[in-house]
Structure 1
Amino acid sequence: MKKFRLPASNSEKKEIHCSGYEKLKAVFQHTADFKEFEFKRGNYTLRFCFLETMVSQEKFKELLLIPLLAEDSQVTPDELKLLNGIRADTQKNMISGILSGGYVLFLCERDEGWLFTFPKDIQRAIQEPINESVVRGAHDGFVEKLETNISQLRLRIKNPEFTVNYHELGDKTKTKVAVIFMKGIADQNIVDEVERRLSYISTDMVLSPGYIEEFIEDDPFSLFPQLINTERPDRAMANLMEGRIIIIGDGSPTALILPITFFAFYQSSDDYNSRWIPSTFIRLLRYVSFLIAITLPAFYIAIIAFHLEVIPHELILPLKGSIEGIPYPPLLEAFFMEITIELIREAGIRLPRPIGQTIGIVGGLVIGDAVVSAGLISNIMIVIVAVTAISAFVVPSNEMSTAVRLIRFPLMVAAAILGFVGLTFGLIFVFIKLCKLESFGVPYFSPLAPLQVKDLKDTFLRMPLWKMDERPRNSHAVNTKRQRDSRGWKTNEPR
């Protein structure tokens, strides 16, 4: 098969002045991957400029160059439009096009530019997110390519009201960001507020939605996250259909969901893929784990330091035998073990996966046994810290899990100073903060504060799906009706 070659340019001919080309070359002359070539076609000199690291040359040859070199081809604006060319009227459009994987074609005699986009396809395969695995349900996840992520959502929501608004953030990185919502369901006022906050972001780089989250959240000094991060398209779709808004950035597989409430962090995709009774039990278990994770060490410290009278008589001797001879107060014991657990966790994340798992298991067992044998930590404290750590990891959201782990430290200090009184005041402060927070105008602790009885169907309990006729009010959906009586078949009601 004859190898395809570009037509040779006639270097002996006098170079035609092209101001657009000269300005573009001046912008990229410092980088070695900026390439150009030209050839004559009809009455025009065609000059192509591109970044070889950003474009697919195979697509360029197949979809543009070969049609232009065909015998019946004529280089006219109409033909260039048929080849998916876009007239590049400004230098800004040319630069943006080249940086996005495009070719700029200059018709030198007319001193005009056309943009053709053939980006290099660099993308990992779609696979299930490691941090959000489920037992039942879809096993695909977002990837780093924005268009692929939007297409995954569109495949799930085949509705013309699915709306995408693009923004460009980062003065240097020019990161493409999409704001996605369902028109007619989402509150347009919240959509406008999101886009208003995005318009105020002025920074050199936006590498991930984590950057955006810090710029637009209501209270940046709160431990509690005010937006949900997810890599699951099915979870993003469910929130879109409830009237919430999704923000996805190019180059990251993470989507931001807003507005949200505290209770949304304890809802999992598995809750809706399983029957409602076991789903309700698992959800209640998560809320119990929240209380255990923030209060158990503080509760133990308060008992040992102030309130030994609440211990049953049968446990006094075993407990005394465990803590007798420990040279440190319970607060220092708890701090030492909690920080050790955090160190093991962080080491397990940073190390290669096989080694990280070994460090997590062996490190915990060896350190726990060693400190007890050395008489530095009591057996009871090891049990308390282990149960606390397990409870903190029950939370489906990593951001909320981190907040829970941090909250227990000030509660431990309060319990060590004032016992149950300090623990009570600490919990009151935490719940006051939860009631005070907002996420884009939505109360963070709703539907409990303010109380919205109808929304309790999907808060602590997960009622049957056919009972959830309306969308939750805390999403501020304009169209609150979600379904009719889906079990009308039992009474033969008309559809």
Structure 2
Amino acid sequence: MKENKKTVSVPPKLMAELAEKLKSSFDIAQIPLIIEDKEAHLFYLKTVVDGEKLQNVIIKPFFELNTIEHFEAYLNSLPNKSEVPSNEELLVELTRGFLLIAIEERFIFLELRKVNSDTVHPTLMEATIHGPQLAFSEDLATNLNIIRQNYHGASLVMNTYQLNDRSNRMIALLYDEESVNLKVLNKIKEKIELLEVPLVQSAGDLERLLTDKKYNLYPTTILTERPDRIVYNITGGKVIVMVDGSPQAIIAPVVFFDFMVSMESNYHNFWISLFTTFLGYFGLLTCLLLPSVYVAVTSYNPEILRTELALTVTGSRIGVPYPSYIEVLFMLIFMELLTEASIRLPKAVSATATTVGGLILGTAATEAALASNIMIIVVAAVAISTFVIPINELGFSIRITRIFLIIFTSLFGLNGLIVGFLLLIMLLANKDSFGEPYFKFFILAKNDEKKVNNE
């Protein structure tokens, strides 16, 4: 027996080849485990493998089990065992936190990932008073677990794909196979499979790449951080796309009215939900049309106001040296700058800096006769109304659209505003989201479509 005992531990050829390919990385680990007639070789990257799990799950049992056969049987019974992929995929999987174990000429592949980004964050973009207060994490496995915990239907399907880019990120496709629209599902799968980009870092990146037209102003998917919104849309037959490393998920297809749905409305009674929905649409029209209406009634069509109100508006503009559309654009641009500053500044100072900056700017502008008092009221109303829109992506689109409406109104007065608004309606009516009309009141689930067709 002593003659057959190996005195020199030589790693398998595959591990030597992997080490050669990764030789420029400092975190390669090749560990031989040898005791008496038992021998095994470990190959992994130290920066992505959990050392504590490695010690407790692999190394400690190796020295406690009697034979190498027992150790191999133990490894094959672990739930995190996977098939050994091809050489190219093997390198990618090793960088994700997988461990390659060699026992003689047999290989076992285990996942021992060290995850530092699995903390579930509170909701930031879509905060509500009632309902869940936690959003997603930046770890895909944690996010899929959250969805499973909130959606217990056996028909829920979760498919994973690996992006063909430098990051080789994993993405997940979620849908209910009993209610999903197969045409939409196949279209999304096709777009994902045909992606050819150098890098995808987040769900926002992928959302932009899945869009049919590069220069779309109005979004055709929803980017959300709320698990309850995800579950709500899965139940409605929609497709969810999640990206590893991103705390948001993509919902497709969507219609315009989906952007005006706040999850808060689901946790109130009918009348409160109706009132909050009305406030949302009123805020949408206010932030979109109010600056253009101000330009129209002050410069072109003051006769549509009552005489007293027209005189009040005109009196407030005494001393302002330029037309109303310059005044509106001037104040709106500074309002946009304050909004962007509140996003970019550190949280400790953003609220104070933007509030003080807004007050000083408004007071100085009126005292210097650069803007009227009514203009300050209009800008404040527009700013408040913009933040009533539940989905932030639509808010950005509205902020850009109102500038185009101001230009139309500045050129043609109230008629220009009406024409510009009608052009906007026509544009949205001709849009679609993965084949679904953008102005459809709601997207029917597959089973509901069958009922409608039968009737």
Offset at residue 440 of structure 1 (A): 0.7
Report what 1:100 is aligned to.
96
In the comparison of the two structures, how many residue pairs are matched?
Answer: 444
Selected match of 1:88 from 84, 92, 96: 84
Report what 2:31 is aligned to.
37
- Output the amino acid matched with 1:188: L
Matched, 1:478 2:447: yes
Selected match of 1:68 from 62, 71, 84: 62
Matched, 1:245 2:239: yes
Deviates more, 1:205-214 or 1:115-124: 115-124
Offset at residue 316 of structure 1 (A): 3.2
Selected match of 1:159 from 149, 153, 162: 153
Selected match of 2:50 from 49, 53, 56: 56
Indicate the SS of the match to 1:358: helix
Selected match of 2:184 from 190, 199, 202: 190
Aligned counterparts of 2:426 and 2:65: Cα–Cα separation in 1 = 76
C-alpha contact (below 8 Å) 2:303/2:310 kept by paired residues: no
- Output the amino acid matched with 1:373: E
Report what 2:364 is aligned to.
370
C-alpha contact (below 8 Å) 2:33/2:39 kept by paired residues: yes
Please tell me the root mean square deviation across aligned C-alpha atoms, in Å: 1.9
Q: Structure 1 258/86 Cα, relative in aligned 2: closer, same or farther at 3 Å? A: closer
Report what 1:118 is aligned to.
112
C-alpha contact (below 8 Å) 2:115/2:139 kept by paired residues: no
Report what 2:314 is aligned to.
320
- Displacement over 4 Å in runs of 4+: 12-15, 41-44, 479-482
Indicate the SS of the match to 1:218: coil
Q: Structure 1 196/312 Cα, relative in aligned 2: closer, same or farther at 3 Å? A: same
Q: Structure 1 78/383 Cα, relative in aligned 2: closer, same or farther at 3 Å? A: same
Offset at residue 481 of structure 1 (A): 9.3
Aligned counterparts of 1:87 and 1:127: Cα–Cα separation in 2 = 33
Deviates more, 1:292-301 or 1:126-135: 126-135
C-alpha contact (below 8 Å) 1:181/1:245 kept by paired residues: yes
Matched, 1:264 2:258: yes
Selected match of 2:133 from 139, 142, 160: 139
- Output the amino acid matched with 1:81: N
Offset at residue 122 of structure 1 (A): 1.1
C-alpha contact (below 8 Å) 1:141/1:232 kept by paired residues: yes
Offset at residue 124 of structure 1 (A): 5.0
Selected match of 1:303 from 288, 297, 301: 297
Matched, 1:233 2:230: no
C-alpha contact (below 8 Å) 2:139/2:244 kept by paired residues: yes
Deviates more, 1:203-212 or 1:91-100: 91-100
Indicate the SS of the match to 1:291: helix
C-alpha contact (below 8 Å) 1:153/1:233 kept by paired residues: yes
Aligned counterparts of 2:239 and 2:352: Cα–Cα separation in 1 = 40
Report what 1:493 is aligned to.
none
C-alpha contact (below 8 Å) 2:82/2:111 kept by paired residues: no
Offset at residue 218 of structure 1 (A): 2.9
- Output the amino acid matched with 1:164: M
Report what 1:281 is aligned to.
275
Percent identical among aligned pairs is: 28
Report what 1:460 is aligned to.
none
Indicate the SS of the match to 2:240: strand
Aligned counterparts of 1:172 and 1:89: Cα–Cα separation in 2 = 19
Indicate the SS of the match to 1:478: helix
Indicate the SS of the match to 1:163: strand
Offset at residue 87 of structure 1 (A): 4.4
Q: Structure 1 375/295 Cα, relative in aligned 2: closer, same or farther at 3 Å? A: same
Offset at residue 31 of structure 1 (A): 0.9
Matched, 1:176 2:145: no
Matched, 1:224 2:224: no
- Output the amino acid matched with 2:55: K
- Output the amino acid matched with 2:390: P
C-alpha contact (below 8 Å) 1:89/1:113 kept by paired residues: no
C-alpha contact (below 8 Å) 1:104/1:116 kept by paired residues: yes
Offset at residue 71 of structure 1 (A): 4.1
Aligned counterparts of 2:264 and 2:82: Cα–Cα separation in 1 = 46
Q: Structure 1 17/380 Cα, relative in aligned 2: closer, same or farther at 3 Å? A: closer
The TM-score, its normalising length taken from structure 2, stands at: 0.93
Task: Trace 1:484-495 onto structure 2 (pairs within 5 A).
Answer: none
C-alpha contact (below 8 Å) 1:35/1:49 kept by paired residues: yes
Deviates more, 1:333-342 or 1:78-87: 78-87
Indicate the SS of the match to 1:203: coil
Offset at residue 21 of structure 1 (A): 1.1
Indicate the SS of the match to 2:447: coil
C-alpha contact (below 8 Å) 1:298/1:423 kept by paired residues: yes
In structure 2, stretches of 5+ residues that fail to align are 1-5
Aligned counterparts of 1:444 and 1:357: Cα–Cα separation in 2 = 36
Q: Structure 1 67/480 Cα, relative in aligned 2: closer, same or farther at 3 Å? A: farther
Offset at residue 219 of structure 1 (A): 3.0
Aligned counterparts of 1:374 and 1:20: Cα–Cα separation in 2 = 77
1:270-321, Cα deviation, whole Å (9 max, x unpaired) = 1110001111111011111111111111111111111122221112332222
Indicate the SS of the match to 1:257: strand
Report what 2:3 is aligned to.
none
Indicate the SS of the match to 2:446: coil
In structure 1, stretches of 5+ residues that fail to align are 1-11, 448-471, 483-495
Matched, 1:28 2:22: yes
